[in-house]
Amino acid sequence: MKKWFVLIMGIVLVLVLSFFFIRLTGHLNYTSLDTCQDSDIGYNYEVKGVIKGTTHSYFSSSPKEFIKGDFCENQKILVEYSCQVKEGINSNEASKKYECLGGCKGGVCLKGEVKECSFFCSLKNKLFPNS
């Protein structure tokens, strides 16, 4: 009985930690799409871009339209959207975070060094947004 309880609690803990990891990082959030167009053609942190297209859920027969624009999560972190190409077609939407050392405003990194944001960068900026 005790072994089963420990096993179930371990599985619950792994699921909870996985959920928080995904929510904190948001590093590459993939969604299955029917179509996708990217106005700034890929990951371009110097231009505010917008992706738009349609997505099709396994649970719904009708496609849904979406529009997502690049945005500043805070004064230093840019969330940049892009369409991912698989086998010659735009099939996935993805996002990356960039740390804009010169600042972020209006969905673009301002002049200065730019680094792709790692897990620790995302975590630090979620916990201490004004640092």
Tell me, what amino acid is at 72? C
pLDDT digits (tens, 9 = 90+) for 27-50: 444 445 677 888 988 889 999 999
Threshold 0.85, pTM exceeds: no
DSSP three-state, residue 107: coil
Confidence of residue 8 (pLDDT cuts 50, 70, 90): confident
- Reported as type and span, the H/E element at residue 66 is strand 64-69
Task: Name residue 77's beta-bridge partners.
Answer: 99
Residue ranges of the domains in the chain? 2-127
